[in-house]
Each structure stands twice: as structure tokens, then as C-alpha cells.
Amino acid sequence: MTVPGPSPYDSDLPITLASWRTFCADQPPAPLLADHLLTGKDVRWDDPRLRYHGPLVMVKTPAIQDIIRLVQQQLRSNMGRRGSRYGLVLDGPSATGKTTMLQQAGRTHERMLRRIYPDDTDSIPVIYISVPSQVAKGRGASTIAEALCFFLGLPPTGDLAEIKTRLYHVMSKARTQLVLIDEIHNLRGAADINQISDYIKDFAELLPVTFVHAGLDAWKIITSGSRGAQAAKRYCCYRTQPFNRGTTEEKSAWLQVVATFDNALRLHNHQPEDLLPLAPYLHQRTKGYIGTLSQLISQAAQEAITNSTEKITEDLLGTILLDGQAENLDYGDEDCPDKAA
């Protein structure tokens, strides 16, 4: 199996085998402050510490731990099972970390297999695809098939049955175990959910493959159409949500998240645990959305580097403009673009 070359998506999404393998490999260590002493000069756009504070850190939240455990359970139970295999759906609002959970579950499984079978360099145990936006009506199954081909570096030529045969042979030879399908809500417009369900079901029956889907309203989408009842029997649903801070346990979970970000900061005037007293403020600003929290701390840290204060304070955090939902902006009129057309 040849690994497809770099794609324009490589830096963002691990949707080719090569970029997925890079994503699964060891991550570079955090920069050492001793290697980045202050010079008094303007910080360049490509400064390594600025870049580091962009994605910052992946927090192993309780939800990520749940998903890793659930995916492992499904994989173990599907191993050697004949006929219908069970799958998982991650459903929840935007910025609650669905994509991150899906990718981490896949990365954890792949890294575990690589540790157990270090010489097995040919297998492709995990495939990750992301459904592109604006899937045309009737093209849902083709879109999934093409994305699988894109990941595997296969030509997406021929009709759906031919592509399925090609994919089947490659996935079977590569001992694929886990297929992660992200942004499933983009199939909403495809209106051919039965065809999609059948296409996926065929793979899950022919091959020992576990499917995990993620997206907004993912459960509704997977269980819609006349095959809905069948899908509802085959998939478990995990709902993601923002962090609450009501109970002592919830407060402690949030504090843990803040502590992980705090620990990851590489700012010259930052002292360990400086962020902890700001945990209630951070929750109030972000409404408990991990995506918003990550954006807030990341931007504040980059600001602290560029303005040379090298420290995150409540005043600095207050200057960071957050996403519209966190800033309580009204949403636009759903029909607006059509009306304008």
C-alpha cells in the first residue's frame, strides 16, 4: 500500500493516510522558555512560541476518556462477531469537542496497535473522514465513498458498487478496524440517508469494522429514513455538552481543565496555577464550551507574548473577543442567503 502524498488539507485535517499517520505520531515537545529568552524585539509571526500557543494542548477531559473507553468496548465486542456490528454516534452542540474526541479515540487505538505490533507497518487500522459541506441531493453515499478513497489514495472512479468492491479489498487487506466519520450533519441536504445507511451497513457486515459518526444532530441523521429503527438498534449515542459548574464534582472537573491549560502555558511571567483563581470567570465567559475556552486562553497567551507582558490576567482576558454565541449575539436569519439569491 502506497501512502498518498501531501494534500492541501494536511495541516488541518488528518483526512489522508499520510496526515493521519502524522497526527498519530508523537507530538513535538512544548518549547522550553530557556530556548526563547526575551530579546526586546517585536515577535515574529512565525515565532515558535506563538505557534505553540495556537492549538496549545489537548485536555483529556472526562468526555474524551468516556469516548476512548466506549470505542474500545465496541471494537472488542465487534471483534470476530458475524453479521450486525454495533457502532457509536457522538452528538452535541458545536465546540463541545466532538471532532477532538473522535480523533483522539482513533489515535489512541492506532497507537495502541502500533505498540503491540511495531513491525506491522502495512496495516491501516483506523480511517478518519470528514464529510465536506454542501453535499448535493442524492450524493450522500458517493461522498462517503469518495472520502474513503481520498483517505486511502484510491481512485474514486466507477459506480458505487465498483468503489465499494475496491474499498472492501483494500480495507480488508489493511485490516481496518475503525472508521470515523465526522461532520455527518453535512449529509442533511443529501436526502438519501437510506442509501448511506445501506452503504455503511454493508461494510460493517462484510468487514470487522466499527463505525463511529460525529456531528450536530448526528443521532437524528443516522436514525432518519426508513432504516431509522434498524440504525437505532445498531448504534449507541453519546451526547456531548458544555461543562457545567453546579456541583462540587463539576467545579472540580472544570478546574482540572483550567489546570491543564495553565500547566501548558510557556510564558515568562506565568507562575504555575496563576489561572486557577480565574476558573469561575473563565466559565462565565465561555459558558463551559471547551472550544471557546481553548480560543480564549490561546489568544490571551499569544497576546501576552506579542505585548511582552508574558502573563495572562483577567484584564487581558477581558480584551479577547469571543465567538458570537459566547458574546450573546443574536443568530442570523436562516433563510437570509436564499432570500438574497
Ligand X SMILES: Nc1ncnc2c1ncn2[C@@H]1O[C@H](COP(=O)(O)OP(=O)(O)OP(=O)(O)O)[C@@H](O)[C@H]1O
State the residue number with the nearest CB to Mg ion: 99
Q: How far apart are CA 154 and CA 193, in angstroms?
A: 24
286 binding ligand X? (CB under 6 A): no
Partner touching 231 among Mg ion, ligand X, none, CB below 5 to 8 Å by kind: none
Q: Please name the residues in contact with 289: beta carbons below 8 A apart, sequence gap of 6 or more.
A: 93, 95, 96, 242, 243, 325, 326
The residues in 171-230 that bind ligand X, with binding defined as CB under 6 A, are: 216
Q: Which is nearer to ligand X, 154 or 296 (CB)?
A: 296
Q: How far is the CB of 290 from Mg ion (least distance, A)?
A: 12
- Helix 17-24 / helix 98-116 crossing angle, nearest 10 deg: 80
Q: How far apart are CA 291 and CA 63, in angstroms?
A: 14
Among the residue ranges 59-67, 118-126, 245-253, 325-333, the one whose residues contact ligand X (CB under 6 A): 59-67
Q: How far is the CB of 159 from ligand X (least distance, A)?
A: 31
Partner touching 58 among Mg ion, ligand X, none, CB below 5 to 8 Å by kind: ligand X
Among 16, 19, 78, 100, binds ligand X (CB under 6 A): 100
Cα 29 from chain centroid? 21
Among 18, 33, 50, 58, binds ligand X (CB under 6 A): 58
Look at residue 98 and give its three-state secondary structure: helix
95 binding ligand X? (CB under 6 A): yes
Among the residue ranges 1-9, 40-48, 98-106, 151-159, the one whose residues contact ligand X (CB under 6 A): 98-106
Q: How far apart are CA 153 and CA 260, in angstroms?
A: 37
294 binding ligand X? (CB under 6 A): yes
Among 7, 94, 308, 313, binds ligand X (CB under 6 A): 94
Q: Which is nearer to ligand X, 183 or 192 (CB)?
A: 183
Between β-strands 126-130 and 178-182, what pairing exists: parallel, antiparallel or unpaired?
Answer: parallel
Handedness of CA 317, 96, 128, 155 (dihedral sign): negative
306 binding ligand X? (CB under 6 A): no
Residues that bind Mg ion (CB under 5 A): 98-99
Please list the residues that pair with 87 across neighbouring strands: 235
Q: How far is the CB of 183 from Mg ion (least distance, A)?
A: 6
- Would you state the cell numbers that stand for residue 288, as one nine-digit string? 463551559
Closest residue by Cα to residue 61 from 288, 285, 265: 288
Q: How far apart are CA 37 and CA 287, in angstroms?
A: 35
Contacting residues toward ligand X, per CB under 6 A: 55, 58-59, 61, 64, 94-100, 216, 290-291, 294
